[in-house]
Amino acid sequence: MPLIIIASTFIAVALFTAVILYPLLSSRSVVQERLDKMGTVAVVKPELAMGAKKTRWLDFLVRAGKSIPVTPKDQSQYTRMLIAAGLKKESLPIFLGSKLVLAVGLPAIYLLCFALPKGEAIRGVTLLYAVALAIVGFILPSFWLGRKVEKRKTEIFHTLPDVLDLLTICVEAGLSIDGALIRVSENPQFRGNPLAEELKVAAMETRAGKPRADAMKDMAERTMVEDVKAFVAMLVQTERFGTSLSLALRVHSDTLRTKRRQYAEEQAAKTAIKIIFPLAFFIFPALMVVLVGPAFYKLALLFK
């Protein structure tokens, strides 16, 4: 009996000690965890085939885009639009290649899947549909790019007053304008925001030796937002004339907030006009059917 009690006590103490020491013994250092992650990334290779296919597809789009003759004016315009949309200027051949692929692919799909099975590939209407699909396919990437640019410009327009407020606080706290730009771009509130990314690029260019005025002007040209251009002009004038930067930022921020509120009021005032067409074509006919329908039904029963 005493041996059983001693053995049970020893086992219990050993298990209790193991439970307490297991987290400490099993924990790995930060360096070891990073090495394990690097090893895992290096070992896992099932996506290499997909990456190769994607690369071949992109290479095909690049070759197709380079085969399209583009004037320098159109090339410059497309490049500015791509940069304003947050894309790299090196993606211009891919963009042009997508226009060519869609212009050829949509009519081909229509002819192979709809016209040829019905035996209507030679009719004039079929050729007209094919030409229309080719035009739509060629215009569709430009439409998508324009929508992406407008969405990004709107996001920058709505974010700029908040960025200016944070810049004002940083400058009043004693940071330089370069430090304030970096602090704003690294703020978690603006993570993934296009304006914060552009400010970070401008700050890095300034650190690399580029004049701050040129870096900020290039940022304004990339965004294609008039309010950003006004903000950059204000910064350049403040630096040139030596006026108070925090006061200028605060006044400019209040001006942008007033402009944003006026824009919201303008959009709200337009809703009364925009809602006329849905009312006239969708809501009023349904109301007429609901209100007048029973009366017509009763009249039809009376005249039978």
| Spatial contact of 130 and 136, defined as CB atoms under 8 Å apart | no
| Spatial contact of 74 and 145, defined as CB atoms under 8 Å apart | no
CA dihedral over 210, 213, 217, 219, signed as positive or negative: positive
Confidence band of 34 (pLDDT split at 50, 70, 90)? low
Report pLDDT digits (tens) over 243-287: 788 888 888 888 888 888 888 888 888 888 888 888 888 888 888
- Nearest Cα neighbor of 140 from 96, 181, 187, 183 is 96
Report pLDDT digits (tens) over 138-193: 899 999 999 999 999 989 988 888 888 888 888 888 888 888 888 888 888 888 88
Residue 42 pLDDT: 38
- The span from the CA of 78 to the CA of 82, in Å, is 6
Inform me whether the pLDDT recorded for 46 exceeds 60. no
Average pLDDT over residues 54-65: 78
Average pLDDT over residues 65-94: 86
Report pLDDT digits (tens) over 97-106: 888 888 888 8
Residue 33 pLDDT: 54
All structural domains of the chain with their residue ranges: 69-150, 153-272
Query: Measuring CA to CA, how many Å separate 271 from each of 100, 198, 265, 279, 303?
Result: 38, 33, 10, 12, 45
Q: What percent of the chain has pLDDT over 90?
A: 5
Our separate counts of H helices and E strands in the chain read 14, 0
Residue 143 pLDDT: 92
CA dihedral over 227, 232, 238, 241, signed as positive or negative: negative
| Spatial contact of 212 and 176, defined as CB atoms under 8 Å apart | no
Specify the CATH architecture of the domain 153-272.
Up-down Bundle (1.20)
The total number of residues shown for the chain amounts to 304
Tokens representing 155? 């996001």
* Phi, psi angles (nearest 5°) of residue 35: -65, -40
Instruction: Output the pTM of the full model.
Output: 0.68
> Around Cβ 121, how many Cβ atoms within 10 Å?
15
Chain mean pLDDT for the chain:
78
Q: Output DSSP code: residue 113.
A: I
